Amino acid sequence: MQIILNGAATEVADALTMAELIEQLKLGGRRLAVEVNAELVPRSRFSEHRLAPQDQVEIIHAVGGG
């Protein structure tokens, strides 16, 4: 299925969980936060949250800023 990951159309396995996506992106253990379709997905729910086709996934982190 296709999801929109940080603005880019991306092919992933059907019914992939957020935890699996984070693992595949080699982002495990990094300080990040995630929202799907503009709703926050807490870290504690990564393993149960299943992605659906066309989900808009944003993975964010902290950067320098004022």
Partner 1 sequence: MPIETAATDRFTLAGREYSSRLLVGTGKYKDMAETARAIEASGAEIVTVAVRRTNLGQTPGEPNILDILPPERYTILPNTAGCYDVETAVRTCRLARELLDGHNLVKLEVLGDEKTLFPDVIATLKAAEELVKDGFQVMVYTNDDPIVARQLEEIGCIAVMPLAAPIGSGLGIRNPLNIRTIVENAHVPILVDAGVGTASDAAVAMELGCDGVLMNTAIAAARDPILMASAMRKGIEAGREAYLAGRMAPKRFASASSPIEGLFFQH
Distance CA 66, CA 58 (A): 22
Distance CA 21, CA 23 (A): 5
Instruction: By CB under 8 A, tell whether 29 contacts partner 1.
Output: no
**14 or 62, CB closer to partner 1?**
62
CB of 13 to partner 1, least distance (A): 17
Instruction: By CB under 8 A, tell whether 66 contacts partner 1.
Output: yes
**How many Cα atoms are found within 13 Å in the side-chain-facing hemisphere of 34?**
23
CB atoms under 10 Å from CB of 8, counted, come to 7
Out of 2, 6, 47, 54, which residue is the one contacting partner 1 (CB under 8 A)? Answer: 6
Interface with partner 1 (CB under 8 A):
5-7, 25-27, 30-35, 38, 40, 42-43, 58-66
